[in-house]
């Protein structure tokens, strides 16, 4: 066990290598929440044919890419904003809106709070309750909002709880926020992994509401974090204009623009991913529930959160045991409202998931 208390994130493989002396290439990252199939088959087979694209500037308007995203989301190309990963779009949106007070549904991704704070705003968390399986009580949440809130931030499905709000309930949130003059930012990084993604996604609501922006990326579902390709959907023309005016030109390179169009049209890859995640999600929930030493929170995304029920086992103990077996899970004690009893991991290939279960049993059922 490590003497000091250190929380490692999914992208911290170099730090893991330094602390534990394990080569990062040998580590199976159950912490990064990335598609275990790797990049799109079509992308792997065809991207090299487009290498000459780097000799020219990409289309400043990214017309072909936005049209491809529009077809993928069943929206209009004019409603699409593309960016250098969803992180850039979060930053651009918050810089444009300048929220004085934001309400963030949490525990969740820390970048939202950071960006609001950088802009001089303050954040208040609305806590998801463990007693409800970390599922949002929409009516209670709506009742907590008032005119002082400029921005409501929701990750859907949420990281790290893997719980989601349906589009039906999101309408209630949007209606309430409209009354208070509040904008809603919905991060859908993980929505494509959900079994019922059509019931969850808020993208179609951009046709009816002007107080919503929906963010997505290609890092997780398409296993391409290095591409830095993201997009946003909003029906608010003034917001789109303001973000595009603030954004630097050519923030997406020529190969990433082409890669995006190839990936989004790889229907076989999409089908295989959804089938794999759906099968492993159900299996892993069942296996963990049989242990009796953890509480599993029903997941909607490609990862799950559980609480350790044994008093003599902590999250850092379980992390340490797994990493020494070259498997990295996420100790969630650094998230708001969670403590050293919570672990999150994503679903990998079946044989890797079996190895992780065996490691869990060695600690949780000894």
What are 154-182's pLDDT values in tens digits? 999 999 999 999 999 999 999 999 999 99
* CA distances (Å), origin 124, targets 128, 137, 206, 237: 13, 17, 25, 28
pLDDT above 90 (res 7)? no
* CA distances (Å), origin 300, targets 187, 216, 304, 305, 337: 14, 16, 8, 11, 20
Number of helices followed by number of strands (H, E) in the chain: 13, 13
pLDDT above 70 (res 1)? no
Condensed to tens digits (0 to 9), the pLDDT of residues 245-271 reads 999 999 999 999 999 999 999 999 999
Per-residue confidence (pLDDT) for residue 5, from 0 to 100: 46
Per-residue confidence (pLDDT) for residue 2, from 0 to 100: 36
Phi, psi of 235 (to 5 degrees): -90, 5
Secondary-structure class of domain 13-39+268-364 per CATH: alpha beta
**Mean of all residue pLDDT scores within the chain:** 95
Condensed to tens digits (0 to 9), the pLDDT of residues 81-105 reads 999 999 999 999 999 999 999 999 9
CA distance 340 to 5: 11
> At 20, is the pLDDT very low, low, confident or very high (cuts 50, 70, 90)?
confident
Per-residue confidence (pLDDT) for residue 3, from 0 to 100: 37
* Tokens standing for residue 146: 């008032």
3-state SS, residue 18: helix
CA distance 168 to 199: 8
* CA distances (Å), origin 33, targets 38, 88, 239, 308: 12, 20, 30, 20
CA distance 244 to 171: 27
pLDDT above 60 (res 57)? yes
pLDDT above 90 (res 22)? no
Topology of 47-266 in CATH?
3.40.640
CA distance 77 to 71: 8
* Tokens standing for residue 202: 């808020």
Q: Where are the domains of the chain?
A: 13-39+268-364, 47-266
The structure's pTM equals 0.95
Per-residue confidence (pLDDT) for residue 128, from 0 to 100: 98
List the one residue out of 105, 60, 6, 87 whose CA is nearest residue 254: 60
Q: What is the mean pLDDT of residues 293-319?
A: 97
CA distance 29 to 10: 7
Per-residue confidence (pLDDT) for residue 153, from 0 to 100: 98
* Tokens standing for residue 96: 């444009």
């Amino acid at each position: 066990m490590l003497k000091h208390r250190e929380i490692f994130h999914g992208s911290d493989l170099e730090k893991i290598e330094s602390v534990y002396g394990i080569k990062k290439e040998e580590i199976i990252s159950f912490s990064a929440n990335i598609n275990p199939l790797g990049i799109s088959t079509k992308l792997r087979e065809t991207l090299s044919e487009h290498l000459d694209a780097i000799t020219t500037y990409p289309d400043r308007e990214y017309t072909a890419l936005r049209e491809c995203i529009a077809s993928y989301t069943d929206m209009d190309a004019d409603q699409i904003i593309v960016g250098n990963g969803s992180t850039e779009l979060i930053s651009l949106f918050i810089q444009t809106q300048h929220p004085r007070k934001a309400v963030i549904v949490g525990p969740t991704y820390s970048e939202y709070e950071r960006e609001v704070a950088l802009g001089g705003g303050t954040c208040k968390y609305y806590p998801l309750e463990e007693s409800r399986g970390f599922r949002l009580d929409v009516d209670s949440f709506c009742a907590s909002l008032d005119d002082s809130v400029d921005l409501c931030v929701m990750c859907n499905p949420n990281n790290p709880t893997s719980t989601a709000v349906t589009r039906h309930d999101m309408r209630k949130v949007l209606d309430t926020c409209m009354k208070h003059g509040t904008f809603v930012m919905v991060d859908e990084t993980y929505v494509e992994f959900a079994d019922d993604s059509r019931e969850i996604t808020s993208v179609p609501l951009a046709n009816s509401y002007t107080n919503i922006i929906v963010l997505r990326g290609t890092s997780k579902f398409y296993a391409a974090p290095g591409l830095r390709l993201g997009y946003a959907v909003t029906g608010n023309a003034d917001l789109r204009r303001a973000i595009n005016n603030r954004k630097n030109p050519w923030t997406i390179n020529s190969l990433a623009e082409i890669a995006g169009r190839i990936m989004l049209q790889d229907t076989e890859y999409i089908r295989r991913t959804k089938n794999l995640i759906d099968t492993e999600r159900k299996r892993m929930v069942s296996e963990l529930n049989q242990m009796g030493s953890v509480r599993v929170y029903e997941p909607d995304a490609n990862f799950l959160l559980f609480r350790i029920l044994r008093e003599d086992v902590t999250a850092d103990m379980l992390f340490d045991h797994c990493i020494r077996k070259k498997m990295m899970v996420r100790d969630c004690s650094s998230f708001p409202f969670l403590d050293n009893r919570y672990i999150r991991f994503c679903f990998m290939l079946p044989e890797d998931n079996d190895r992780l279960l065996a490691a869990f049993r060695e600690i949780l059922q000894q």
